[in-house]
Copies of this chain bind each other. A is one copy, B any other.
Amino acid sequence: MQRRTVVALDAMGGDRAPEAIVNGAIRAALELNIDIVLVGDEFAIRNATIEALPEQVTIRHTTQVIAMHDEPATAVRTKRDSSIVRAAEMVRDGEADAFVGAGNTGATMAAALLRFGRIRGVNRPAIAIPIPIPGSPRKQLLVDGGATVDPEPAWMVQWAKLGQIYARTRLGIAEPTVGLLSNGEEPGKGDALRKAAFALLETEIVNFVGNVEGRDLVRASADVIVTDGFTGNIALKTLEGSMMAMAGLIFGVLDEPEFAPQATAIKLRLLEGAADLLPDNTGGALLLGVNGVCIISHGSSSPDAIVNACRVAVAGVEADVVGSLAVALEASSSARSDAVVAPAVV
């Protein structure tokens, strides 16, 4: 009998931890038929739910917690018995297949990077965020959604490649296109980083479609949209903020007494139509470039979000996404070295 997938879940991370995490874990274990190790303070975990933990959910007790405001690298170095560090080590040591965390994003990434190591050919990791397109079943991957600020242009090319491979395995797109997020569509647009990255992407990436703009994030443009982690963070939070603001405006109007006859029905249809747009339903984002499956979940994760983050983790493990990324990068880089080396050999 095949061993069930094991997810190491940081029980202490996120605004609603440990309650939302523990209750999400119980549901995820049963719904996805996986084993979950809740990593964190045993007392807090046991007190976080009124349900008895099912046999598939176990606890790995730790004595330290990395807080949301802790400086990531320092915290990972000094808090060695924290839930984040121990969960990452379980994957490194083969005790778990994937690490899921909704806590301090920087520390979660740093722990994965330092404990898993990097895939050969990758300089820095990037977060791959699937962005829903309103009114369409398609999603576009934003890479990097916030892992690495101030990248070298060459790192962005690596992210484009990782993103293409991930879009193929995760989103089922046979020939994913790549766009560069910039301040205009014309090839000459952008700051110095964009101009340098554009030149490299044009040479090295199959199906590079050129620059895309901020508004292209919410309409079908490119399957993989590459940017630096700073700009990616600004774009994602702006997108989330504006959608929430618009939703607030609409619900405010629907709450006016004269619209009472149809307000509830309209709200239900809106929630249905917007379901794919909610962060909870995306659940989590894969950290691309580290040598193991690490899923970054939203800080405000609900039990639903945790279930979905575990779902993304399991899909990543089952598709051996890390192995595919490593093989594909290796192939692409040796193809390139061959191309460069060949003339000299001849």
- Cβ-neighbour of A134 out of B183, B219, B240, B246 (below 8 A): B246
A69 to B269 alpha-carbon distance, docked (Å):
42
A155-185 CB mask vs B (1 if < 8 Å, else 0) is 0000000000000000000000000011110
A249 to B280 alpha-carbon distance, docked (Å):
19
Q: Shortest distance in angstroms between A154's beta carbon and chain B's nearest beta carbon?
A: 17
Q: Shortest distance in angstroms between A188's beta carbon and chain B's nearest beta carbon?
A: 7
Q: Are A186 and B69 in contact (CB under 8 A)?
A: yes
Q: Would A249 and B230 be within 8 Å (CB), given that A215-B240, A217-B241 are in contact?
A: no
A136-165 CB mask vs B (1 if < 8 Å, else 0) is 000000000010011000000000000000
- Cβ-neighbour of A235 out of B150, B238, B244, B274 (below 8 A): B238
Q: Are A217 and B194 in contact (CB under 8 A)?
A: no
Chain A contacts with B in 263-315, Cβ cutoff 8 A: 265-266, 269-270, 273-274
Does chain B have a CB within 8 A of A121?
no
Does chain B have a CB within 8 A of A234?
yes
Q: Are A183 and B230 in contact (CB under 8 A)?
A: yes
* Chain A residues touching B, majority SS: helix
**Segment of A24-32, A52-60, A253-261, A321-329 in the binding face:** A253-261
Which residue in chain B gives the minimum CB-CB distance to A261? Answer: B262
Does chain B have a CB within 8 A of A214?
yes
Q: Are A218 and B234 in contact (CB under 8 A)?
A: no
Chain A contacts with B in 220-257, Cβ cutoff 8 A: 228-231, 233-250, 252-254, 256
Does chain B have a CB within 8 A of A135?
yes
- Cβ-neighbour of A246 out of B183, B186, B242, B256 (below 8 A): B242
A246 neighbours in B (Cβ, 8 Å): 134, 242-243, 246-247, 250
- Cβ-neighbour of A215 out of B238, B247, B261, B265 (below 8 A): B238
Q: Are B191 and A245 in contact (CB under 8 A)?
A: no
Does chain B have a CB within 8 A of A320?
no
Q: Shortest distance in angstroms between A159's beta carbon and chain B's nearest beta carbon?
A: 16
A201 to B194 alpha-carbon distance, docked (Å):
26
- 19 sample A-B contacts, Cβ–Cβ < 8 Å, listed by A number: A134-B245, A135-B248, A149-B192, A150-B191, A150-B192, A191-B228, A214-B238, A215-B237, A218-B241, A218-B242, A230-B231, A231-B231, A234-B235, A238-B242, A243-B243, A246-B246, A249-B274, A253-B266, A261-B261
Contact surface of A with B, Cβ cutoff 8 Å:
69, 71, 133-135, 146, 149-150, 181-184, 186, 188, 190-192, 194, 213-219, 228-231, 233-250, 252-254, 256, 258-259, 261-262, 265-266, 269-270, 273-274
The 9 closest A-B pairs by CB, nearest first: A214-B237, A215-B241, A214-B238, A183-B233, A246-B246, A149-B191, A242-B242, A134-B245, A218-B245
Q: Are A241 and B265 in contact (CB under 8 A)?
A: no
Which residue in chain B gives the minimum CB-CB distance to A242? Answer: B242
Q: Are A266 and B241 in contact (CB under 8 A)?
A: no
Q: Are A183 and B146 in contact (CB under 8 A)?
A: yes
A240 to B239 alpha-carbon distance, docked (Å):
9
A236 neighbours in B (Cβ, 8 Å): 214
Which of A215, A247, A265, A269 lies at the interface centre, i.e. has the most chain B CB atoms within 10 A of its CB? A215
